[in-house]
Amino acid sequence: MIREDLKIKFKNVEKVRGAMIFEFFTPGIPLILKNAGCEFVIFDMEHGGLSLEQFKKLAIISRGANIYPLIRIPELSYNYIARSLDLGSYGIMIPMVNNHDDAVLIENYSKYPPIGKRGAGFGFAHNDYQNQNPNEIMKAANKNLVNIIQIESKSGLENVEKIAENQSVDCLWVGHYDLTNFLGIPGDFNSKMYLDAIDRIVAAAKSNKKSLGIMVSNEKDLGFYEKLGFNIIAVGTEMHFLSQSIKKLIF
């Protein structure tokens, strides 16, 4: 059965910390992150080359280690959303969400009827291979699975208020580098245009009582976004942390 703990924290806009994994899709990663204090791990399928077969194994290990497995899919499609959920993900991060219609599609693909159009299959990874009441499984999944919507394009920014209104949107996640790219200020996180965009996203989330998420790579950025109201924060990339830690030792 899909547990409600993580969804409650998203719904109540509580502080949650985790990590994003782009390269090290190994069996020990969920336990390493759990031991480090992470509550969730987002495995990246957009940039990192992750396959659904790899994710299935990682999701099962994560669930057994009591850390929530999430996945960033490469595009908004029924195939990626429904299959990732069937393979054990507690939630989906969807890149390049541009408008209200996209948010409606995500709701349709991630929810079982009568809310959405997700196909039903039971006794698989998503309910830990247990023989449970199908109606209870669907009810729990509709209630407790998490949809993380990435706002990272100019269109997404312009429509962020309408996107945030959708009941199945649990978190507005800023794709900060892509957002600066599409605003024509690549990598300029101190520009007024970027900071105004962040303020608009924060306002849309707060007015609709949605969680706010972002990935950071240092304490300064974590503190900055936390003060703005970002409650769902992931650290990354693991390649950066590994290379920096090694560099400090050998130089």
- Total number of domains in the chain: 1
| Ramachandran angles phi, psi of 191, nearest 5° | -70, 150
Helix (H), strand (E) at residue 226: helix 219-228
Domain residues for 90? 5-250
Q: Is the separation of the CB atoms in 163 and 151 below 8 Å?
A: yes
CATH of the domain at 151: 3.20.20.60
pTM of the model: 0.96
Residue 2 has pLDDT above 80, yes or no: no
Residue 93: pLDDT band with limits 50, 70, 90: very high
Q: What's the rounded Cα separation, in Å, for the pair 165 and 182?
A: 23
Q: What's the rounded Cα separation, in Å, for the pair 139 and 46?
A: 29
Q: What's the rounded Cα separation, in Å, for the pair 93 and 7?
A: 14
**DSSP type of residue 21:** E
Residue 96: pLDDT band with limits 50, 70, 90: very high
- Interval 44-61 mean pLDDT: 97
